[in-house]
């Protein structure tokens, strides 16, 4: 898919348990979606076959493994993912400076994306694990650490996207989950934004899951989101 195609700004989360279901979803949406996200569930179930299924459709693979380990293991794991041609790979900022540096040094043409604070953790949960400053303070600190270690990609709530863009500038690559078309079911997401608003806020890549794969017609749901992205881009 061409970089000017609105679908190149959409990553569909393949939050499914097996390869057959993933392939069906890819087939139904590949004309409108440039990137497919393979997460822990699917990768644990079928491993690199999931990446191959995405590449076989001519799409980009976003491997969402949220790596967090010692520097040598991080470096080697990132190198393996890069050698499989993965376009995007997530790592945890809390892995620390040296692990992030090793990851960054071994990423090749894979774009690393730093995860700062999981949105499932509130202030009390952060306190319990000893991360100071509350969710916002910890996220800002970890984003700066990741930037210093050489990472330029970040997973962020669409609501923090504009502030992060202002702080980091055009060089940052910002990825936003929690996307919901207007009037759609929010599910367990607490802070959502429409595709068009997220693009206007400066998001480079929108992660969308249930609004597409739970739709009666996933092809049309993906096409509708691509149209909203196109409208926002042409504003």
Catalytic residue, chosen from 37, 66, 144, 190, is 66
Q: Which of 50, 151, 210, 226 binds ligand C5P (CB under 6 A)?
A: 210
CB-closest chain residue to ligand C5P: 209
Q: Which stretch binds ligand C5P (CB under 6 A): 72-80, 98-106, 202-210, 222-230?
A: 202-210
Answer yes or no whether residue 94 interacts with ligand C5P by CB under 6 A: no
Residues 21-40 that bind ligand C5P (CB under 6 A): 39
Answer yes or no whether residue 15 interacts with ligand C5P by CB under 6 A: yes
Is residue 66 annotated as a catalytic residue, yes or no? Answer: yes
Whose Cβ is closer to ligand C5P: residue 189's or residue 219's? 189
**DSSP codes of every residue in the chain:** --TTSGGGGEEEE---SSHHHHHHHHHHHTTT-SEEEEEHHHHHHHTHHHHHHHHHTT-EEEEEEEE---HHHHHHHHHHHHHTT-SEEEEEGGG-HHHHHHHHHT-TT-EEEEE-S-TT--HHHHHHHT--SHHHHHHHHHHHHHHHTT--EEE--HHHHHHHHHHH-TT-EEEE--B--TT---TT-SS-B-HHHHHHTT-SEEEE-HHHHTSSSHHHHHHHHHHHHHHHHT-
Q: Which of 8, 10, 13, 74 binds ligand C5P (CB under 6 A)?
A: 13
Answer yes or no whether residue 207 interacts with ligand C5P by CB under 6 A: yes
User: What residues are labeled active site?
Assistant: 66
């Amino acid at each position: 898919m061409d970089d000017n195609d609105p679908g190149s700004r959409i990553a569909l989360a393949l939050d499914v348990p097996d390869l057959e279901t993933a392939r069906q979803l890819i087939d139904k949406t590949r004309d409108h979606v440039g990137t497919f996200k393979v997460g822990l569930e699917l990768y644990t179930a079928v491993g690199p076959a999931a990446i191959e299924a995405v590449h076989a459709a001519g799409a980009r693979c976003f491997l969402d493994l949220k790596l967090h380990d010692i520097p040598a293991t991080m470096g080697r794991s990132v190198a393996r993912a890069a050698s499989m041609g993965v376009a995007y790979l997530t790592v945890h900022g809390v892995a620390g400076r040296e692990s992030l540096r090793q990851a960054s040094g071994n990423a090749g043409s894979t774009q690393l994306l730093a995860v700062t604070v999981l949105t499932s953790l509130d202030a009390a949960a952060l306190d319990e694990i000893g991360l100071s400053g509350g969710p916002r303070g910890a996220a800002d600190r970890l984003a700066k650490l990741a930037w210093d270690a050489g990472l330029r990609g970040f997973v962020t709530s669409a609501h923090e996207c504009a502030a992060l863009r202002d702080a980091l500038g055009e060089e940052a690559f910002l990825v936003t989950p929690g996307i919901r078309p207007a009037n759609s079911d929010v599910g367990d997401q607490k802070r959502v934004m429409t595709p068009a608003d997220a693009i206007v806020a400066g998001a480079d890549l929108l992660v969308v899951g249930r609004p597409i794969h739970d739709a009666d017609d996933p092809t049309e749901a993906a096409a509708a989101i691509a149209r909203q992205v196109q409208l926002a881009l042409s504003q």
